[in-house]
Chain A
Amino acid sequence: MSFVDTTAAALSPRARRRRILRRRLLRRPLALVGLVVATAFILGAILAPWIAPYSAGATDFNAILAHSSSKHLLGTDELGRDVFSRILWGARASIEAGVLATLLAMAFAVPIGIVAGYYRGWVDAVIARLTDVLLAFPFLILAVGLAAILGPSLTNATIALGVGAAPALIRIARGEALALREEDYVRAAIANGAGDVRILTRHVLPNMLSTLIVQATVAIPTAIIGEAVLSFLGLGVQPPTPSWGVMLSDAQSYLSQAPRLAVYPGIAIFLCSLSFNLLGDGLRDILDPRTTR
């Protein structure tokens, strides 16, 4: 034990922290599984053109609604398209929507939340009411409205998902800023005459990063499921472009004939969002500042 401590002491604080985090991750097998599966989904989405056995739209009219075989791993759909290939291609829409919607929400929500929590007073009150207004519109109603105004597409679905995720993130960033503002190092910076921008970017933001990373990991699966819902309702990805939601929507007409068509895309959505949720849960424990210091 003392041996480990002396080597750790020889390392820079940053390297030591990284080493602690790595050890904590290895001690949480579920988080590790989440990381591996989520990475596999992301790689599958990126590499779909090279690793998918068939292109997304390739039809085989000799094998319509075919069962699994060596030729078609998960069988084919009503147009003879390879289900496994379409799930790989469909991962692109889901991951894209999940990640971009979360980044969009972060870019929009974090600065607003920080300003509200740091300055408090009337700025905070105005932002709190605006957040309440956004929250009053259930995400799907908001998304349906946006899709109606902007037209249904993956981009517009992503915007709707990002806007829908923002209110919760604003509240979290606000709460963090409110707490960090009272920390000694922020007070010391204020006493030293540091400007607001410097305090916010050098002291407040970096110290809420771990909370934000955890929130992002948890927001991604919500957005992935949201994209599937919107595409299922015809408000997101438009056929013939493959997406898990579109595949489920198509499968609805074949529930008695070929129920498996509705099973596989759903399992893909489930595993993908479960992996991000497992990772998020693990990161919450691993990055918790109360235990890293």
Chain B
Amino acid sequence: MGGFLLRKAGAALIVVFCSSVLVFVGVRALPGDPAVALSGENRDPAVLAAVRAKYDLDKPLPQQYVTWIWHALHGDLGLDSRELPVAHTIITRIPITLELALLAVLLGSVIGISAGVIAAVRRGKPSDHTATTFSLVGLSLPHFWLGLMLIIVFAVDLRWLPASGYVSFGAHPIKNLEHMVMPAVVLGTGLSAVLMRQTRSAMLTSLGADYVRTARAKGLSEWSVVAKHALRNSLITVTTVIGLQLGALISGAVITETIFVIPGFGRLTIEAIDQRDYTLLQGVVLVAATGYVLVNLLVDVVYSFLNPRIRVAGGGP
């Protein structure tokens, strides 16, 4: 298993390196002179020269990249256009998005996995059709629109929940949850639809497998067969799906945080673009890409622990 994990870690490292080059080149490809943007649209040649020297913009690109990545490895992503450290801004925004994502994954998994199990166990029955239809609806629903509809119903009409804004959990746990309910539902429905489908098909495969037949033949209760044998093996597939959904979750956070005006990591991405803040944008995208790769590496680790074929044989899939 060590070899498998080492290979996966090596691949992740290569991907992070390529992504960082892509981010760096991409930000350099943005139209306009970064020095002008960083100097607050001041076009005085002396000021521009000073800005270029300060941000290393007068150095050749490879040298700029090495300096940037060297500092990034030490936790320094540079200063944004307001002279604030980018790394600090990102660190203060990430917990907000993490809370949102965690609530969404929790909601999505509970609904998606249980609906998938029920649909598979009661295959062809009305509950299966209902669950399958709901997942199809969940996949076709534009989630940001669902957000607008929730605002109309629960904030404008019923006045039960706040339409926008954010209160930290530490400051006021109840208010925090009130602000987070609708965004979490918006972000969680898409995930639950995907998870329901994957769980259903994984469960159908497991329920038809020999070890389930053996478990039944041993006289185990149906509950034990479904929960202990079939579901446990299906969860291996489902874990991988959750990891792969992280990209969709980050994209979803961008739009959800925009609609509900939540000052998280997603909103920061849009702000960086709107303000043409190159250092900030570079940092945000690098963190997003690295985060995605790391989570998927973690998923591979979990997967290798859950899957006895990898755990015992030491071979990769």
Contact = CB atoms under 8 A, between A and B. Distances in A.
A144 interface: yes
A251 B148 contact: yes
B18 A138 contact: no
Contact of B30 (A136, A149, A265): A149
Interface stretch (A3-11, A67-75, A85-93, A226-234): A226-234
Contact of A140 (B15, B152, B250): B250
B208 interface: no
Report the contact-size class of chain A (Cβ under 8 Å from the partner).
35 or more
A248 B247 contact: no
A36 to B, nearest CB: 16
Given A139-B247, A233-B270, A256 B156 contact: yes
A196 interface: no
Which of B136, B137, B251, B293 has the largest count of A CB atoms less than 10 A from its CB?
A: B251
A149 B148 contact: no
A231 to B, nearest CB: 11
Contact of B152 (A136, A255, A273, A274): A255
Interface in B1-37: 11, 14-16, 18-19, 22, 26, 29-31
Interface in B96-128: none
B53 to A, nearest CB: 26
Report the contact-size class of chain B (Cβ under 8 Å from the partner).
35 or more
Given A144-B269, A148-B273, A228-B142, A262 B255 contact: no
A195 B252 CA distance: 46
B144 interface: yes
B73 to A, nearest CB: 18
Contacts of B288: 137-138, 141
A255 B136 contact: no
Contact of B254 (A133, A141, A273): A141
Contacts of B139: 221, 273, 277
B11 A132 contact: yes
A144 B149 CA distance: 25
Interface of B: 11, 14-16, 18-19, 22, 26, 29-31, 136-137, 139-142, 144-145, 148-149, 151-152, 156, 163, 247-248, 250-252, 254-255, 258-259, 269-270, 273, 276, 281, 284-285, 288-290, 292-293
Interface of A: 129-130, 132-133, 135-141, 144-145, 147-149, 151, 221, 225, 228-229, 232-233, 248, 251-252, 255-256, 259, 262-263, 265-266, 269-270, 273-274, 277-278, 281
11 contacts: A137-B247, A148-B281, A248-B144, A248-B145, A251-B148, A252-B148, A255-B152, A262-B145, A262-B148, A270-B141, A270-B145
